[in-house]
Structure 1
């Protein structure tokens, strides 16, 4: 821990001067993929109970018709639209996440804030992309600086760090200068919150972390625009964000090499519809499944050795789909028996599948301190399968598929989008959206894509 003078103003100065022409083409391409992934998760997320409840809440309290909402014919206010759409995107654990900022889901927080504000402002395609890059930059850098201590203290970066990211993105979209961008960060930092208590019961409020961060970001930037001040030392202050939320932070990670690399480059995409901390174990089991053929009746036990943030996902018999997605025993059993852990695999009937229940009961999840010491640089899982005849098979995965170092291809990501969205908008419309979002200049207004359903 240390005091670095003007950390907040340095990064806000960078964000306020960020321009489309100064961002490399590969970064812009990655940003468009992030937007496509956001839309795919949101189209299917409209079907969730949680999204429906938040839509009903918004209808109850009302809002000035400014911005579109997934699943609603009517518009609502910018902050409320951002909130609903954040919950919608995050509903099924399909949205992107940050490689090093533990627990940060930037797509479900920053993009709904940008689209809600941008629609009302009639912002251009290029301005939207720049704002998204700016938001990922703030959230990713702060998330790196305070994690993994932040997570170990029980905080969820999607509710905390992403509030700052959404505020930065909206500030850039509004064209705020460095000081007002810092005010917005200060306001958002004071509004930030989100704890991992949801894990115990699989409660819905995890999704509200994403929605609230998006709402906080819109509110903070609009208030700062009007002249409402926030602390311009919110990050580095002795009673500031980093010290409040982490026991071990590095402020230099927030300002080091600004413009030399972008945090959006360290975004990873989900191959599996589960908590990302389970991906190493899932990938290891899928590798085993390809290489050896074994009947589940021959299995004595499966042991997963992994890092601390993953080892807590050890519930053997989840009673809801949400809890199942945060159960390494369950998703490991699903992967071995079905060969995939996709969105459409998770049904109420799956929770009662006797074969999966029996196999999940044989899975032990243990923290390995050596593995934990290398987190988040590596997201290691060592999976050992022991058969009744004494045979032992083991697989180790350090970098799961979808991570920047082991990426999914553009084709795989567009296939993911099509699979998720086509049931809602139809295959033809789904392919048209892919073409629009991945184009330098979309042939259709980006905001109209949200009202495709």
Structure 2
């Protein structure tokens, strides 16, 4: 959305903005299905790679560029795609996302000013898919499935409630269930975290040293939940993790022994051996916020409310405007900027 906001004109309508966003999500979802998990396993950050193209496509739709311009726009975006997954846990990861938006907008500005690029960036000879993944790409086959069904509705969007990696969402929910059963950090002798093969690839920090690294550590997330019942967003920004966590962390181990036949599932199982000798276990496959376990409308509005930062009559007015197809994006930007 940041790319779309940056090129918004005073008379751009919200409905056009949202339609462009849907088209960008469609490209991201379709490309992601073709390339992942292999792309991520090779060490590429999906947001930096696919996100650049998705943002460029959304920008092109939003600004109603011609077919030839769209080809050049995607071509210029493709030649700029980059981003290493190793940046997770540092300022480099959001930097990847920011650069994806910036590069998409830069490509649009160049095209609008007459810049031309190769009009077949996805050629099966030396194009983007062949270069980064060694696979063939058929635009015709993809077009047959375009918006049928739409990626934004099936499988749908994931919504985070906290600023940690989505690969930890099932483990987070499982930890909260165990906390409700009475499990606390002081009770644990061992904690086994079970994933499918590769399911913990993004959770690369077993012993994070900073809060930002902790965003990609299931150990850090479970420790917070078992300690106080939930995570604290502030702890993901601290310059140094707690000594109590460092002392507790060795009791946690990973096991890649879960099987799943549902591509929409992201299963994680926690098995806790208590110091009493008893065991507690729980598995979550569809965490809250995933398409198959969506956040309630109330929770979605609460999250939006936190971002908009208005209250009372202003909040009611803001929500009502979302149902007005004639609302201008500039008005939305003004409201968000308050």
With the length of structure 1 as denominator, give the TM-score of the two structures.
Answer: 0.67
Q: How many residues align?
A: 333
C-alpha distance in structure 1 between counterparts of 2:35 and 2:126, whole Å: 14
Match of 1:125 in 2: 14
**Bigger helix share:** 1
Question: What residue ranges of structure 2 are gaps of 5+ in the alignment?
Answer: none
**Cα separation, 2, equivalents of 1:399 and 1:246:** 29
1:130 match: secondary structure: helix
Secondary structure of the corresponding residue to residue 351 of structure 1: coil
Note if contact 2:184-2:226 (Cα within 8 Å) is conserved in structure 1. Answer: no
Pick from 146, 149, 152 the counterpart of residue 261 of structure 1: 149
1:254 Cα deviation from its structure 2 partner: 3.5
Post-superposition offset of 1:305: 1.2
- 1:83 is matched with none
Structure 1 Cα separation of the partners of residues 131 and 211 of structure 2: 33
> Does the aligned pair in 1 maintain the 2:212–2:236 contact within 8 Å?
no
Q: Secondary structure at the match of 2:283?
A: strand
Distance 1:321 1:437, change over 3 A: farther
Q: Is residue 386 of structure 1 aligned with residue 273 of structure 2? A: yes
CA distance in 2, matches of 1:439, 1:300: 56
The answer for the alignment partner of 1:334 in structure 2 is 224
Is the 1:170–1:218 Cα contact (8 Å) retained in structure 2?
yes
Task: Give the 3 Å change call, closer, same or farther, for CA 338–427 of structure 1 in structure 2.
Answer: farther
Which residue is equivalent to 1:299?
Answer: 188
Q: Which residue of 1 aligns with 2:175?
A: 285
1:160, 1:383 → 2: CA distance? 32
Matched, 1:172 2:172: no
Which residue number in structure 1 is paired with residue 103 of structure 2? 216
Alignment root-mean-square deviation, CA: 2.7
Quick check: 1:148–1:376 contact (8 Å CA) kept in 2? no
Residue in structure 2 matched with residue 403 of structure 1 by the alignment:
290
| Residues 305 and 365 in structure 1, CA contact (< 8 A), matched pair in contact too | yes
The counterpart of 2:321, out of the listed 436, 442, 453, is: 436
Question: Does the Cα contact within 8 Å between 1:135 and 1:169 map onto a contact in 2?
Answer: yes
Distance 1:361 1:339, change over 3 A: same
The CA deviation at 1:375 is: 7.7
Q: Structure 1 301/428 Cα, relative in aligned 2: closer, same or farther at 3 Å?
A: farther
Task: Answer with 181-190 or 126-135: which moved more.
Answer: 126-135
Select the residue among 322, 333, 336 that pairs with 1:447: 333
Q: Give the Cα separation in 2 of the matches to 1:250 and 1:148.
A: 17
1:147 maps onto 2:36 in alignment: yes
Give me the whole-angstrom Cα distance separating, in 2, the residues matched to 1:115 and 1:284.
37
By how many angstroms is 1:317 displaced?
A: 3.2
Structure 1 SS opposite 2:269: strand
In 2: Cα distance, 1:163 partner to 1:451 partner: 25
Task: Please say if residues 302 and 363 of structure 1, whose CA atoms lie closer than 8 Å, have aligned partners that are also in contact.
Answer: yes
Q: Measure, in 2, the Cα distance between the counterparts of 1:152 and 1:404.
A: 23
Gaps of 5+ in 1: 1-110
What secondary structure is seen at the aligned counterpart in 2 of 1:304? Answer: strand
The residue correspondences of 1:198-237 to structure 2 (distance < 5 A) are 198-199=87-88, 202-237=89-124
Q: Does 1:364 align with 2:250?
A: no
